Homo-oligomer: A and B are copies of this chain.
Amino acid sequence: MNIRKENSTNNINEIYWKENCGIGFTLSLIGGRWKINILSYLLNEEKLRYSELKNRLIGISERMLILKLKELEQDKLINRIVHPEVPPKVEYELTELGQSFREILILMDKWGEKNLKK
């Protein structure tokens, strides 16, 4: 879907924007309650252990955290690094694809900060 003012189209496909629009796809990857938070922390701190993420994401259940980490991993946005130790140690970091969200998140952050104050 084209959301640029200059050359708006009106073909039939536009109706199904949820399916074929970039925004729809983007949201399918980072939408929902927790994913953006997880990405933000990993963007800030490079590499975090499972327990470190759990401590930062106030209120998240272990079930949700694991679920979302799995989805992010499957979508190639984060890497899961297993250290073969006892006790186990697992770290998560952004992939290059995950890193590429930085610009969007910064923009959303700026927008929010700016309009929050009013």
Q: Which chain A residues have a beta carbon within 8 Å of chain B's beta carbons? A: 1-5, 8, 15-18, 21-27, 36-37, 40, 43-45, 56, 58, 97, 100-116
Contacts and interface: CB of A to CB of B under 8 A. Distances in A.
Given A40-B1, A58-B16, A24 B112 contact: yes
B26 A108 contact: yes
B109 A1 contact: yes
B16 A108 contact: no
Q: What number of copies of this chain does the assembly contain?
A: 2
A108 B64 CA distance: 25
A42 B7 CA distance: 14
Nearest to A20: B116
A111 B116 contact: no
8 contacts: A3-B40, A8-B44, A15-B58, A17-B37, A17-B40, A21-B112, A22-B111, A22-B112
B26 A111 contact: yes
A22 B113 contact: yes
Contacts of A27: 36, 108
Nearest to A40: B3
A23 B102 CA distance: 12
A30 B105 CA distance: 14
